[in-house]
Structure formats: C-alpha cells, structure tokens
A and B are shown apart, each in its own frame.
Chain A
C-alpha cells in the first residue's frame, strides 16, 4: 500500500503494538501529527506540557509495563527537550523509542530554523539512533529501533526523520511485532559452576537488581531463598521485584540502604547478583566492597561483567532462564547460624529506627508519612518519585505488593522526572498511582499538572515540602560545615492554590492526622490531587555511607547525643 512517510511512521508504531504515544507537535512533525489525527481510533496521543514530560511519560509507561514507551517531538528545541528524558531511560535501561522530525534533507547542515543534529547529541545517551534520509529505510529503521530497545539489556533508541522523508510516498506492508534478539543459552557447565558455589556457601545473599525487576520472578526468588536459606537484598532499581511481605527480604542495600541489608551483604560469603551492575551508589568504595566474598553475576550485558566489580563467575544470559535453572539445581539446605545472624541485624536495624522515632518527638517524620501511605494505598499501587531525600525515603519505606510498582530515576537521578513518569505509568496500567515528590523536584516540571488535569489522570501527588533542597542540604550539613549555599528555597508558592489553578484538587496536611485523612480522601478522587505536606528541613536520610566510604563507615544517626 502506498503511504506517506508520516503515515508509515504511525502505521509502523501501530504494527509494533504501540497503543499510546506521548508528544508535542511542531513545524517539522506536522505531517506525523496529521497521520496521528487520521489514525486516532487506532493510536492514542497524549499531549504533554513540555517535551521533557513526554519523554518521562514514555519512560514511566515502560517501567510500569515492560512495553516500549514511545514519544514524539519536533526538530530543534523539541528534540533537545527530550534529551534529559532519553538519558534517564538510558541510565536505567528502559526500552523507549523517540521519534523526532527534522528539517528537510536539502536544509540539513545549513543551520536552518529549528535544525539540530539530534542523532549527534543523543549518540552517548541512546542504545542506538537513526537518521533516516531515505523513505525506503523508514519502516525498517523503526522496526529495528523497537528490536534494539527491547532486546538484551533494554534502552532508548531515537529515530530522526527529516520532513521531506515524512512527505515522500512509498510502499508499506504491515509486519508482525519484531521479536527480541535472543541471548545465548547458558551452557550447563556454567550453571553447574554457579550451583557448586551456592552449595559451598554458608552465608548466601541473593542480590536483585533492575535486570530482574520486570521479570516477574518474585515468587521464584523467594522460593529459592527459602530453599538455600539465603537472605534477599536489592538495589534501588531492584525495588518491587520481590514483594515485601517475605521475611527473607531485607530491602535495598547501598548508600542509603537498609542497615540489615547492607550489613548482611558485607557478612555474606556469596553474593548471587541477578541483573545488577554494581553501581557506585550500591557498592561505595569498590576496593573495599565484598572483600573476601565470592560473587556470581547474572546479566544480559556482557560489558557489565567485571566492569565495576571483579566477579568470581559472570554469566551472560537471559537472567530469568539462568536463574531458574540454577535455583532448580542447587541443593536444599538449612543455615540456622546465618539466619540467626541476619535476624540479629534486623533487630539492630529496628532498634536504630525506634531510637530515631523517639528523637523525632512530635514532628511528622517521613517514616510516619510512608506508614500512612502503606496502610492506606490501594492494591497494585505504583509509587513514583522525583529525586532527592523523599526518593530515598520512598525506597526505604514503601511496600510493594507486585512487580513494576516502583518508578523512579535511579541512574541519572533526574529531578523533575516524577510527574511525567507518573502520568505515563497511570495511563499504561490504569492502576492507582502515587507520586512522592519534594518542593524542589516538583518545581522543575509541575507544568505537567496541566496534562494530568486535561486527561483527568487520577494521581495522588504528595509534596514532602521542607523549603530546602534536602539532599544537598544533608551533604552541606554533614560535609560542608552547614554552609547552605543556594539550597534554601523557602519560596512563597502555595501548592494548594497552584493545584487548584491548574484545575486539580489541592489539600494541605500540617500533621500526620491531617495527612492520613487527606491521603484517604485523595485515593478516592478520580483525578489529580496534590497534598502539600511538611517535613523538617534538617531531617536526614539514614543510614548513609559517606561518599567514597564503604559499609564500615556507615552513618546510622546524626546528632542526638544530647538526647541519650
């Protein structure tokens, strides 16, 4: 069938299973938007307030479902506005396809109006990208983009299409959804080697990362942990891979990880890494990380093996397949000493937490806020966050009942990610979605409230408002002798009025009881709700491994001596 390039783009997206796209029109994508208009019964377009919001929405859409998220932007500033969103997806290995328009080929290289070399700009932040200057290559480039985005270790792919290619006419025949490129099947010897290490181990620690987060292996991981009497910890990106209601699960480890989880990892004699990349936030000082501990690493990306940490056995594999085969073959065993040691660590963690709560006296603490959220959230709730202290508290305290419930920018740490991502996640799943944000992060992309209101996307947006950039302030408190350079916001913004001005519901909660009733009400409202709530500006995220430090340098409390 003869079609224009713009129609080929939309038909290829539809052919690849895309039902929703996020974007913003502009001069060099008018034809694509015309094709969207003609196909609006087959593909849904969500108009965001800003292209960055579209990229984050496509990302959130993908994180919540595993599907490839798609965003569209025009040339020049439209394309550059996607950049932070693409980089965010890249650093967290999120499958995404970004389509950009560009000036006609005849104007390329001439600094034409709204011309930018977006393939050049996104070279280091995409898995791959395409500049399609021939209509003959258009459909296949988009198909390849989908295949690359979702195969192996996923990631974003950008396809840049000049205007004349969008206008040109060419044959199009719809094809099937492209299959993932299969990973090599792990040979039995490697499985046996892993099993031997596991059978020898007296103190195993199963370490779950982003590579396992979306695989729906929660039940199998827990079963395996019970079989070999291991404990389970996770990275930031591994959150919600394992449901929280399992006593083997110790939560996130690392810079702001749970005390018990980080300490258990230190004391383990074997770390079984499943889809982890040993990022610096997870390991601290790599020279001191897991010294004397054996490490098995299962990962789809061969370049991650021995990149940050030298491992004893690295298996490049379909993580799920390799994990299940290892779990099947490993010997069942009981390790009462290790279990007791881990229980002791858990008790110590509880003791630290109790002391901290006592110190808090009558002020509203982040933990109390999350206790209310956990107790009152609806089943299958997705927790999305922005970046900073509130994000770490969300990572520490949120409870998840199923996989793909935690949507947060881990690798890039993008402030302003949350609102767009929450819109994407909610539209993708229809599941209840809560955004935890800070007054700093929310200020970055709050324009997307307009999107949430326009499409009546039900969201509970909780602003943990402390009037400061809390995480940087925490570092200034601890390492810069309290010189609070440019981290005091104390803006006059009234977030309740702001929410109302956008057409959303605004609420204010100044203590935990008010917060509880506000939250309970918010989850019943069919539309976006902003709850402005207050925490102390000198609240700390603890524990903390100081920069460059190791688990031996863990800080579990700051100040408070006077209270003991």
Chain B
C-alpha cells in the first residue's frame, strides 16, 4: 500500500553531501515528492527533510540506503501524530476589480498574507501544513495562478528531545 511519509536526515554540513544523497535516490530508483535542506542547531550538520510516497518496502530501503552513506549521521521517520510540519508557498495570481475581493477574503480565511500588490497581480505568501496549502492552491486556480513555488516540508518532532540524540536500534530484522 502506498503511503506518504516524511524522513528527516542529519548530514555533515560539507560540500557535495546533497549530491551524494540525491545521486543515491537516482541510482536506487526512489521517486521523491519533495526535499528541503538547511541549517540546524549545530553548524556541523545540515538537515534534509524528504517526502516520499511508497510502501513499507520503499520506506525501509530508503532509510537503510541513506544510513549507509558515510556523511549521513542520523535518519528518522517523522511520526505523523507526534510532529509539526510546515511548508511555505508563494503564489502570484491575477488581480482585477472583479476578483480582488474574493481573493482577499480567501487570503483572510486561510491566514495567508499579501506581500506584493500591483494593478495586474498580487503575490500571496502562505504557510502551513501541505494539505492546507494544497487546498488554498485549488481555491486560487479559477483566479488564474501566474506563477508559484513551494518550499517543501520542514518537520520537527514534538517534545524536548532532538533527533540527533534519539537512540535507533539496528541489528535484528524480521519480516515474514
């Protein structure tokens, strides 16, 4: 069965590490929905957040193959119910007197923000769970989206612990 899941990866903050990760995806035939990378609490590491749809096998393989990379320090699946996820999107839509009120009220309802405004277009910034952004984009489509971009998900687990300090057991595997 195909599920969506989010995986957080701590990697050495070094030149070329992202290439090592993405090259592995190509080589092993993993199809990634979204990927973000950025700084972390520690200057030594970058954090990559990967969204992937697939079955349990794909998930296990992705995690195992990531863990094999020398520059990968930690790989964890982000538990859906125990985490916060955010994504940001910038959406440029047409602006004219017939639609303006509608668009602005949608911006209000979705707690988005207008960050650029001209006679012919406006640019909207929206942050939230991917599902909320999806819904907003759907709603905006009839108003003609000129251009848009999304950052992909970043996610943190709730509570005081950090992923880096989490204990991961690898050693015995059972399946059938």
Contact = CB atoms under 8 A, between A and B. Distances in A.
Interface in B135-176: 170-176
Contacts of B174: 311-314
Max count, chain A CB within 10 A of own CB: residue among B19, B57, B170, B175: B175
Interface stretch (B37-45, B46-54, B62-70): B62-70
Interface string A109-123: 000000000011001
A301 B170 CA distance: 10
Interface string A186-216: 1101100100000000000000000000000
Contacts of A325: none
Contact of A123 (B19, B64, B65, B175): B19
A30 to B, nearest CB: 27
B171 A128 contact: no
A162 to B, nearest CB: 14
Nearest to B172: A190
Interface in B5-64: 16, 19-20, 23-24, 27, 57, 60-61, 64
Contacts of A186: 171
Contacts of B27: 124
A375 interface: no
A303 B70 CA distance: 14
Contacts of B68: 301, 303
A127 B70 contact: yes
A313 B19 contact: no
A307 to B, nearest CB: 7
Contacts of A187: 171-172
Interface string B113-136: 000000000000000000000000
**How many of chain A's residues touch chain B, expressed as a range?**
20 to 34
B70 A316 contact: no
Given A123-B19, A148-B70, A312-B176, A303 B65 contact: yes
B25 to A, nearest CB: 11
Given A128-B70, A303-B65, A303-B68, A190 B23 contact: no
A21 interface: no
Interface in A119-157: 119-120, 123-124, 127-128, 131, 148
Given A186-B171, A312-B176, A316-B172, A120 B67 contact: no
Interface residues of B, number: 22
B171 A315 contact: yes
A508 B176 CA distance: 55
Contacts of B19: 120, 123
A189 B69 CA distance: 29
A98 to B, nearest CB: 16
Contacts of B69: 128
A479 interface: no
Nearest to A190: B172
A310 interface: yes
A311 B175 contact: yes
B125 to A, nearest CB: 36
Contacts of B60: 306
Given A124-B23, A184-B171, A302-B67, A307 B176 contact: no
A190 B171 CA distance: 9
A316 B173 contact: yes
Interface of B is mostly: helix
B176 A123 contact: no
B173 A305 contact: yes
B23 to A, nearest CB: 5
Nearest to A294: B176
Contact of B171 (A119, A127, A311, A316): A316
Contacts of A148: 70
Interface string A152-195: 00000000000000000000000000000000101101100100
Interface string A51-63: 0000000000000
A303 B62 CA distance: 9
Contacts of B175: 306, 310-312, 314
Nearest to B64: A303
A314 B173 contact: yes
Nearest to A307: B61
B175 to A, nearest CB: 5
Given A127-B70, A303-B65, A311-B175, A316 B23 contact: no
Interface string A300-328: 01110111001111111100000000000
B3 to A, nearest CB: 18
A562 to B, nearest CB: 46
Contacts of B67: 302-303
B26 to A, nearest CB: 8
Contacts of A127: 70
Contacts of A317: 171
Contact of B23 (A123, A305, A312): A123
A317 B173 CA distance: 12
Contacts of A302: 64, 67, 170-171, 173
A123 B20 contact: yes
Nearest to A187: B171
Contacts of B64: 302-303, 307
Contacts of A119: 16
A257 B127 CA distance: 59
B20 A311 contact: no
Max count, chain B CB within 10 A of own CB: residue among A184, A306, A310: A306
A300 to B, nearest CB: 11
B65 to A, nearest CB: 6
Nearest to B19: A123
Closest 8 CB pairs of A and B: A314-B173, A303-B64, A128-B70, A305-B173, A124-B27, A310-B175, A310-B176, A190-B172
Given A123-B19, A124-B27, A190-B172, 4 more contacts: A301-B68, A313-B174, A314-B174, A314-B175
Interface of A: 119-120, 123-124, 127-128, 131, 148, 184, 186-187, 189-190, 193, 301-303, 305-307, 310-317
12 contacts: A119-B16, A124-B23, A127-B70, A187-B171, A190-B172, A302-B173, A310-B176, A312-B175, A313-B172, A314-B173, A315-B172, A316-B173
